[in-house]
Amino acid sequence: MTTSVKRRLSISNMLAPAATPTKRSKTVPSPGQRRPLEDGQGVPAALRPDDPQEVLCLLSHDGLKDLVTTLLKHPQAGPVVRALLQSNKSQARVDAQARARKIFDSLMKQISEKEEDLEIDGDRLNGLQGAAEYPDAVKHLMPNIEALIELGPASHGPALAWQLLLKIAKVALSPGVVGEIDVDGDEEDNDWFHELVDESMLAICKAQTLSEDKKWLCEFRRSELLNLRRRASYSDDDLPNERYALTLEFLNDFLKTSA
């Protein structure tokens, strides 16, 4: 091959377009079809369902308690979990008491605001009518009071719930006649609400029997309920009513056996 021919071939190679690199073929998903992921690619680690931290975030409080209860029964893990729980007992008590107080303050604020809305002061006509409407206005708070009771005596939840129940029970005593003022509804119209209060108070007393200090279940608790009964009487001629019978029966039996 002559020198001139070699030169022409070299120039032709330099001017030829560069070869296009081979691309991997991609499967294009059809509309509505998700592209398959391999080895977790494209998924943040924090969102992968097999991440223990993610599972913990998804667990409810009851679910977590069930999990710990199961671990306590395990022959190897049980002693370790039990030791961890004991080491955190003091802080857990402090946290529970703070949580109970926060719930109590929130409920007390809502109760006071509702009394202001209904102008309950016992002196004006609209205040007396508001007392008759009060049970319907606060009945939605009862589940939150129940949740406070379920926190247990160590959190002071049941004792705080008792204060709330006493407050709403006193306001729910709506007189039928005050002087010459007639009020819509009679005292008996609120019986259903006081039955709810009685059931919750009974739950509180039962919870307090599990407390390390049972002095809370004393004669003063019984006198508080008897005072509520007397407040519901319209005159000295009225016979004592039967409200709070469940709680009073429980307290009577408890005080007899603990005397």
Q: Give the chain's radius of gyration (CA, Å).
A: 35
For residue 40, tell me if it sits in a domain: no
Q: What is the mean pLDDT of residues 85-95?
A: 92
Over residues 2-16, mean pLDDT: 49
Least confident of 150-164, 187-201, 206-220, 232-246: 232-246
- The fraction of the chain above a pLDDT of 70, given in percent, is 66
| 115 inside domain | yes
Q: What is the pLDDT of residues 19-33, one digit of tens each?
A: 555 555 555 555 545
Please check the confidence at residue 60 and state whether its pLDDT lies above 60.
yes
Residue-wise pLDDT tens digits, 140-184 = 999 999 999 999 999 999 999 999 999 999 888 755 444 444 455
| pLDDT at residue 37 is higher than 90 | no
In a domain, 250, yes or no: yes
Residue 153, domain extent: 95-258
pTM greater than 0.75 (yes/no):
no
Q: Is residue 154 domain-resident? A: yes
**Would residue 29 count as lying in a domain?**
no
Q: What is the total residue count of the chain?
A: 259
Q: Is residue 49 part of a domain?
A: no
SS3 string, the chain, reads CCHHHHHHHHHHHHHCCCCCCCCCCCCCCCCCCCCCCCCCCCCCHHHCCCCHHHHHHHCCHHHHHHHHHHHHCCCCHHHHHHHHHHHCHHHHHHHHHHHHHHHHHHHHHHHHHHHHHCCCCCCCHHHHHHHHHHHHHHHHHHHHHHHHHHCCHHHCHHHHHHHHHHHHHHHCCCCCEECCEECCCCHHHHHHHHHHHHHHHHHHHHHHCCCCCHHHCCHHHHHHHHHHHHHCCCCCCCCCCCCCHHHHHHHHHHHHHHC
Structural domain includes residue 10: no
- Model pLDDT, residue 11: 46
How many distinct structural domains can be found in the chain?
A: 1
What is the model's pLDDT at position 174? Answer: 57
Confidence at residue 95, expressed as pLDDT on a 0 to 100 scale: 95
Say if 169 falls within a structural domain. yes
User: In the predicted model, is pLDDT for residue 9 greater than 50?
Assistant: no
So what's the pLDDT on residue 202?
98
Q: Which residue has the higher pLDDT, 205 or 47?
A: 205
Give residue 258's pLDDT.
86
pLDDT at 116: 85
> In the prediction, which pLDDT does 3 show?
52
- Are the CB atoms for 135 and 88 separated by under 8 Å? no
Residue for token pair 């009851």: 62
Which residues, 6 or more positions from 45, have their beta carbon under 8 angstroms from its beta carbon?
51
Cα separation of 30 and 60, whole Å? Answer: 38
Residue among 136, 129, 117 nearest 184 (CA): 129
